[in-house]
Amino acid sequence: MATARLQERYGTAVPLRQMVSYRLSRLQAKLNAQATKILKENGDLTLMQWRILVMLDLYGEVTIARIVRETEFDKGLLSRTAKAMVQKGLIATKSNDSDLRQNHLSMTPQGRGVFDRAFAPMRGRQDKLLNSMSDEQRENLFEAFEMIENSLDEMRENE
Amino acid sequence: MATARLQERYGTAVPLRQMVSYRLSRLQAKLNAQATKILKENGDLTLMQWRILVMLDLYGEVTIARIVRETEFDKGLLSRTAKAMVQKGLIATKSNDSDLRQNHLSMTPQGRGVFDRAFAPMRGRQDKLLNSMSDEQRENLFEAFEMIENSLDEMRENE
DNA sequence: ACTTAATAGTTGACGTATCAACCTTTATCT
DNA sequence: AGATAAAGGTTGATACGTCAACTATTAAGT
């Protein structure tokens, strides 16, 4: 493989369009920028703050460890973000008597208000993104995500 | 992922699996981590350094502005990365007499050597990722990327 | 029971990405 | 030509993500 590439080699690499990692990182950067902007304009949340609120909306009350298990976000980042959210009055913490390590997070009414305000535009943008494709395409896309992720997880194990 | 745990949903939100932005950012984080590791072990490049080398391999000689146009990477980041690569002897710069603003980047032989060494493992991982799906699935995936990106670009225009 | 391992969470260090300000040089407009 | 805008590139401030070290608490192993 490397030997076949010894001469003229402009374009020996895969074309840009087909570079998975690059394509994804570019797409993700755009999604990120858009979400960040919408959130800033609708309650001034950061993306990670929004994500924590989503978890609280989904599960009602969660620990940081649970969020880590569900999402694989970094626990350090989560810890810092949660701290800031408590200071802003968006969430409350409650320690668990039967396990003193745990710290349960929950939305405050104010947090709920901010979440509700950001929800519609965030949902709207997601729908716009997905509405450009058919149900089947959408399902295929999520399947592809899973396949790639699985294959990444596998590679990580075999080393 | 923990599917059994996902039952107790009282949120208004979409289930996690279907949150495009979240799914993509997680996938991208994993791809990123893997690539970073491979590059570190095969010549000690950073991801951005690798990407610049890929551009040089594809196009022979490029300016930063050209890379920005092709990839939409941040020009500040590119500038800094290129500077570091010159110091490491991976690339050379040559100013253009007919336009003194421009600065053309090209690979040094050493840069070529490093690129060649990293190429096989990087290509291998990409193939592994894509080989887990059929040609059709693969094509659909890239199409989906394009659709989402287009719909993002559109939204950005309409505001 | 007691030692060791695992889990929950916090913190600091560091690299990377993003954004805006700025300087130069070239294009455009009148 | 002269003024203004646009393009190429650099730099600084700042936010974000990642990793590892560390404390406290609980679970497991023998």
Q: How far apart are the C-alpha atoms of B33 and B30, rounded to whole Å? A: 5
How many angstroms separate the CA of B82 from the C1' of D8? 14
Which among A9, A129, A140 has the least Cβ separation from residue B137?
Answer: A140
Domain assignment present for B153: no
Residue A11 clears pLDDT 60, i.e. is over it: no
Q: Spell out the per-residue pLDDT of chain B, length 159, in tens.
A: 433 334 455 566 567 777 889 999 999 999 999 999 999 999 999 999 999 999 999 999 999 999 999 999 999 999 999 999 999 999 999 999 999 999 999 999 999 999 999 999 999 998 888 888 888 888 889 899 989 988 888 887 776
Report the domain count for chain B: 1
Q: Are A50 and A32 in contact (CB under 8 A)?
A: no
Q: How far apart are the C-alpha atoms of A14 and A69, rounded to whole Å? A: 35
At residue A91, the pLDDT reads 98
Domain assignment present for A87: yes
Calculate mean pLDDT across residues A94-101: 93
Residues B97-128: tens digit of each pLDDT? 999 999 999 999 999 999 999 999 999 998 88
Q: Which residues of B touch A149 (CB under 8 A)?
A: 26-27, 30
DSSP state string for A70-136? HH---HHHHHHHHHHHHHTTSEEEEEETTEEEEEEEEE-HHHHHHHHHHHHHHHHHHHHHHHTS-HH
- The CATH number covering residue B97 comes to 1.10.10.10
Q: How far apart are the C-alpha atoms of A109 and B116, rounded to whole Å? A: 57
Counting Cβ atoms within 10 Å, is residue A15 exposed (0-12), middle (13-18) or buried (19+)?
exposed
* C-beta neighbour count of B110 within 10 angstroms: 13
- Nearest chain B residue to A72, by CA: B26
Q: Which residues of A touch B155 (CB under 8 A)?
A: 34, 125, 128
CB A29 under 7 Å to nucleic chain C:
yes
User: Could you tell me the residue range of the domain that residue B104 belongs to?
Assistant: 37-121
Residue A5 clears pLDDT 80, i.e. is over it: no
Shortest-distance nucleotide from A102 CA to C1': C8
Domain assignment present for A2: no
Percentage of residues of chain A with pLDDT beyond 90: 67
Beta-carbon contacts below 8 Å between A and B: 177
Domain assignment present for B117: yes
Domain assignment present for B155: no
Shortest-distance nucleotide from A78 CA to C1': C9
Domain assignment present for B42: yes
Domain assignment present for B148: no
Q: How far apart are the C-alpha atoms of A1 and A95, rounded to whole Å? A: 58
Contact A58 B13 (CB under 8 A): yes
Instruction: Give the helix/strand (H/E) hosting B91.
Output: strand B91-96
ipTM over 0.85: yes
Mean pLDDT (chain B) is 88
Domain assignment present for A75: yes
